[in-house]
Amino acid sequence: MSSPSIQAILASAGRQKNTKYVDVAALALLVVDYIGTFEAEVSMMWKAKWSFAKALFFLTRYLAFFDVPLAIYFHTSLGLPPRTCQVLFIVETISLLVGVAVAEAILFLRVWALSGRNRKLLIYLTAQYTAVHLVEAVLFGHFLFGLEFGPSPLPTVIGCLPLPPKKKIQNSMLSALFGLILANELVILFITFFIGLTKFRDLRSPLIKTFYLDGFFYFLILSAISIGNMIVDLVGPPEYRFLIVVLQRVMHSVLSGRMILHLRGFANGSSPTGLSEGLTANDETGPPRFGQNPLLASLKLRNTMQFSADLSRGNSVSYFPGAHSEDIELPERTPETRKRDPERPI
């Protein structure tokens, strides 16, 4: 064996080791998030009535504990025959993609609920979700059909060894899959902000702010990972083609699960991350105006809690009655009312 071949083998072993580190870090992130939100899950989800949103929550949260350890086993096992490597990879990646699809379903559900369960939007969202994931399945099927694993040159050092694709279009298909995930979530982000501008523009509420901040950071983090996956798949070595796929799966699970917990937290008057602080405080900007209804703050809190409960269950939502009214006019005072109520402010 020539010296360049030995160097190539050592380089491949180093790249596989880096992939293992990223996978283990992703699992650590999943476990830390689970521990940090388990108490909130028990108090807000276990005793809640079953709904479509609750089923999606448990799927996105617990399916990750199957496919992420399986991915780590795939990347860390040594001495496996190529056929076993291929079967493990197929099972692992299909589970990963199903987990991503479940997390995206939560995004679609909350957008539909935010629109007030608009029928036309439901038809469009259903069509988009179905079309995107059908295309993703076709692209991934073509990628799997052309993927091959070869025997490890050093079975005690290098585990499953994916061979370079015979055709460059195979990597393009995998990159197109991540591009579809990115485009799908970008469209949902635009729809969410459009609904916010047209329906909730004048509503100053911590819930709405949290709702949109969650959506924005969700997109920002996942878009960065998707772009990274596309770049690595197109120009990276074969060992790096799946470098941050597991990390993307974990982030989908973590972020979508936290979205539902945040909404349930507002529905219960609290939040697992403290994001509802100040809900009971006066959230109007500027000094209080004379004649403001003293029950307005409690009315806004109650309606905010109902709104978040509807969102977390996928129910329709609308404006909070009176929650965005800055002034509630009191009846005009007359000499008779002054005598009956002399202490009432003018």
User: Residue 310: which pLDDT band, with cuts at 50, 70 and 90?
Assistant: low
* Residue 281 burial (10 A CB sphere; 0-12, 13-18, 19+): exposed
Is pLDDT at 186 greater than 80 in this prediction? yes
- Average pLDDT of span 138-144: 86
Distance (Å, rounded) from C-alpha 40 to C-alpha 29? 17
pLDDT tens-place string over residues 223-244: 888 888 888 877 777 777 777 8
Percent of the chain whose predicted confidence (pLDDT) is above 70: 69
Quote the pLDDT of residue 98.
92
Q: How high is the pLDDT of residue 135?
A: 93
Mean pLDDT, range 19-44, rounded to an integer:
92
pLDDT of residue 60: 92
- Residue 4: predicted pLDDT: 39
Residue 131 has pLDDT above 50, yes or no: yes
In whole angstroms, give the CA distance from residue 16 to residue 283. Answer: 52
Task: Output the pLDDT for position 346.
Answer: 38
**pLDDT of 9:** 74
Q: How far is CA 305 from CA 42, 44, 298, in A?
A: 19, 13, 11
Domain 14-267: which CATH class?
mainly alpha
Q: Return the domain boundaries, the chain.
A: 14-267
| Cβ atoms 164, 241 nearer than 8 A | no
d(CA 65, CA 345): 61
The Cα–Cα gap between 185 and 226 comes to: 11
Quote the pLDDT of residue 102: 93
